[in-house]
Structure 1
Amino acid sequence: MRFKDNGRRAALASLAATMFMAGGHAQAQASSDKPLRVIVPLSAGSTVDVVARAMSAQMAKVMGHPIVIENLAGAGGMTGTVQVVNAPKDGLTIGMVSSNHVINPSIYRKVPFDSLNDITPITVIGTVPLVLVGSSVVPARSLKELIALLKSKPGTLNIGSAGNGSVLHLAAELLMSEGGVDVKHIPYKGTGPLAADLLGGQVELGFLSVTAAAPHIKAGKLRAFGVSTRQRSAILPDVPTLAESGLPNYVFDAWIAVIGPAGLPRPVVQKYYADVKTVLSMKDVQDAMANQGIAIIASPPEQAAPFFKAEFDKHAVLVKKSGATAD
């Protein structure tokens, strides 16, 4: 909505603020011509960024409100997330974060905010399945054979990741813990170099997202040993889960969630959750999610908060076992 009269604009803005403080967020939002900032604390082209942009057009229609996506990458996502944490509690700034949000406190000596208490979890959008793959130099053809191989040659095979304390690193740590095996960790600076060296045989094993790995698996250039999630991935339906294949307690999800600053009023949180859930039910958005291998959850806010705490605790244990640090 645009206003030609500046006095009328000011009066309506004041009225909107009054309604917002009384819990009338929907009316306040409709009266504002300020855009909603969606901060993505990761680089353009990342899975989180792709999801944010896939949802933004429909979110703008559902909310009747302009949306601006800002990529503020750096420090494992902390550079952008601090902007969400310090944002006014007016409902005009939210963030879309990944699992790194709850991993960072365990791998950085100093985090400029409390990852649990300085945010308001709004919803967990969905999970991103990973797949354990091996290069062509690995003779094992199944997870059972791989575990036997690793036990026979402890510490001699390599497993790459996107960096110390990354989701891919912690997925590998859980593999070692559940499988009772010792594999040498090789940290890379991102998934691109890791994938290249897996294809070239310079590193033997690694976890990749199902979307990144699927073309190479189907082309026979990488061998899939199992998917990390509780259910199989629709992108790789013939690849069993690691739990199915011999590690019954192995479950590891990468995930994407929507957060706001701490103290965001409940009506604001519920309105955002309802809008996000509506958008996630739309076919074009579901298709975009499926193309990224994302299993939609759309958990309500009351489930999102304990989920964050459980993930925080789980990753802290894995980081401690690994000795990983990003400093």
Structure 2
Amino acid sequence: MTLRNITRRQLMRHAAASGVLVTMGPQAISQTDRPVRLVLPVAAGSGVDALTRAIGPALSKSLGHPIVVENLPGAGGIIGTLALTKSTPDGRTLSIVSNNHVVFPSVLKSVPFDPLGDITPISIIGTAPMVLVVNSKLPAIDSKQLIALMQAKPGLINYASGGNGTLPHLAAAMFVDEAGVKASHIPYKGVSPMVTDLIGGQVDFGILSLGAIHAQLKSGALRAIGVASAERSAAAPQIPTFKEQGLANFVIDAWFAVIGPKGIPPAEVAHIHSALTETFRSADVIASMAKQGITVALSTPDQAKAYFRSELAKYATLVKKAGVEPQ
């Protein structure tokens, strides 16, 4: 199956496999009462999923409609995003995406949608720190020791990702390139199985947003080597940056954005943006974002569109520098 030949039936099958119900046909309820679908192109347990679940109740209240969150993982995020782009542009189907959305064109040979032309950008939400973690059995407590291990065993130390072409894949490839060492990539079908095998010691290290592995760090199931932000995170101030550890050029943050399918009427875009603004003023949401280390900075729709365009160019350069071959 090629990405360009994904059918409605296949989308439904992926949805069923992820434990969610996707209604593609006529609705039994009125258009007025129809809920807002938040289609996530990721599995449960990711940073995007954690953020979405945290803001769901407040966003539902702000929009004035119930919200149904649908995880549609697969093909590194392509399945869910493709489902979004094929939905009706009435403001009732939205998605929260991350850097993956603009990384796809640089790391995949074929993408079945235009990451700019087939969406309606609504707002960049903000950024979150990326943390390099190792399993508790690996004898490394900082980047110097981890790099020494990779130098001693070229290609034998491996790193996990949530799938080929995802941000964890690119971030780890960038770290390996910056360190001047070799390591093997082990792609998983989502963040949850990736984290499970990291904890179990089946893989050596990986890079994830702080929100996705905060509990595992707190319990000691995973060990943090460093944060890839320019500065330490207020949510985990004990984790040093890679700049502090001698890798000044290894800086990458996760970001999150709300998008819809192409063609949402401007008035509806304005309504959704206003609801987002109200949502992120909620005390509960503010507290949750702080716990996940997310710095909230909502953009306008026009700013979001410009940001997507600039990030497309940025990651094309980073992918080339890190030597990641399109797959």
Q: TM-score, normalised by structure 2?
A: 0.77
Superposed CA offset, 1:94-152 (max 9, x none) = 22223222233334433221011111211112323221123345444322343344345
Equivalent residue, structure 1, for 2:79: 79
Equivalent residue, structure 2, for 1:56: 56
* Counterparts of 1:166 and 1:134, CA distance in 2: 19
Residue 219 of structure 1: how far off its partner (Å): 4.7
- Calculate percent identity across the aligned residue pairs: 47
Matched, 1:35 2:26: no
* Counterparts of 2:80 and 2:237, CA distance in 1: 35
* Counterparts of 1:116 and 1:54, CA distance in 2: 27
* Counterparts of 1:265 and 1:61, CA distance in 2: 21
SS of residue matched to 2:244:
coil
Asked if the contact 2:158/2:203 (under 8 Å) is kept, the reply is: yes
The letter of the residue matching 2:245 is: S
* Counterparts of 1:91 and 1:213, CA distance in 2: 32
Distance 1:83 1:208, change over 3 A: closer
| 5+ long unaligned stretches in structure 1 | 1-30
* Deviation larger for 107-116 or 152-161: 152-161
* Counterparts of 1:193 and 1:35, CA distance in 2: 30
* Counterparts of 1:138 and 1:44, CA distance in 2: 26
Equivalent residue, structure 2, for 1:150: 150
Equivalent residue, structure 1, for 2:311: 311
Distance 1:178 1:67, change over 3 A: same
* Deviation larger for 263-272 or 225-234: 263-272
* Counterparts of 1:117 and 1:249, CA distance in 2: 32
* Deviation larger for 245-254 or 129-138: 129-138
Asked if the contact 1:214/1:235 (under 8 Å) is kept, the reply is: no
Residue 231 of structure 1: how far off its partner (Å): 3.1
Distance 1:133 1:34, change over 3 A: closer
The within-5 A match list for 1:109-124 is 109-124=109-124
Matched, 1:232 2:232: yes
Asked if the contact 2:135/2:221 (under 8 Å) is kept, the reply is: yes
Asked if the contact 2:74/2:189 (under 8 Å) is kept, the reply is: no
Distance 1:235 1:261, change over 3 A: same
| 5+ long unaligned stretches in structure 2 | 1-30
* Root-mean-square deviation (Å): 2.9
SS of residue matched to 1:112:
coil
Equivalent residue, structure 2, for 1:27: none
Equivalent residue, structure 1, for 2:15: none
* Deviation larger for 288-297 or 233-242: 288-297
Equivalent residue, structure 2, for 1:8: none
Equivalent residue, structure 1, for 2:209: 209
The within-5 A match list for 1:123-162 is 123-151=123-151, 153-162=153-162
* Counterparts of 2:228 and 2:197, CA distance in 1: 21
* Counterparts of 1:293 and 1:216, CA distance in 2: 15
SS of residue matched to 1:260:
strand
Matched, 1:322 2:324: yes
Equivalent residue, structure 1, for 2:252: 252
Asked if the contact 1:129/1:293 (under 8 Å) is kept, the reply is: yes
The letter of the residue matching 1:249 is: N
Asked if the contact 2:42/2:190 (under 8 Å) is kept, the reply is: no
Equivalent residue, structure 1, for 2:6: none
Asked if the contact 1:97/1:256 (under 8 Å) is kept, the reply is: yes
* Counterparts of 1:38 and 1:199, CA distance in 2: 30
* Counterparts of 1:136 and 1:316, CA distance in 2: 34
* Deviation larger for 272-281 or 315-324: 315-324
The letter of the residue matching 2:147 is: I
Residue 48 of structure 1: how far off its partner (Å): 2.6
The letter of the residue matching 2:325 is: G
Residue 278 of structure 1: how far off its partner (Å): 1.6
Superposed CA offset, 1:24-76 (max 9, x none) = xxxxxxx9444333322334554433433432332232233444434434333
Equivalent residue, structure 1, for 2:28: none
SS of residue matched to 1:128:
strand
* Counterparts of 2:36 and 2:119, CA distance in 1: 17
* Counterparts of 2:45 and 2:198, CA distance in 1: 21
Residue 175 of structure 1: how far off its partner (Å): 0.5
Matched, 1:278 2:312: no
Equivalent residue, structure 1, for 2:102: 102
Asked if the contact 1:36/1:66 (under 8 Å) is kept, the reply is: yes
* Counterparts of 2:198 and 2:209, CA distance in 1: 13
SS of residue matched to 2:249:
coil
Residue 220 of structure 1: how far off its partner (Å): 4.6
* Deviation larger for 117-126 or 49-58: 49-58
Distance 1:77 1:185, change over 3 A: closer
Asked if the contact 1:131/1:228 (under 8 Å) is kept, the reply is: yes
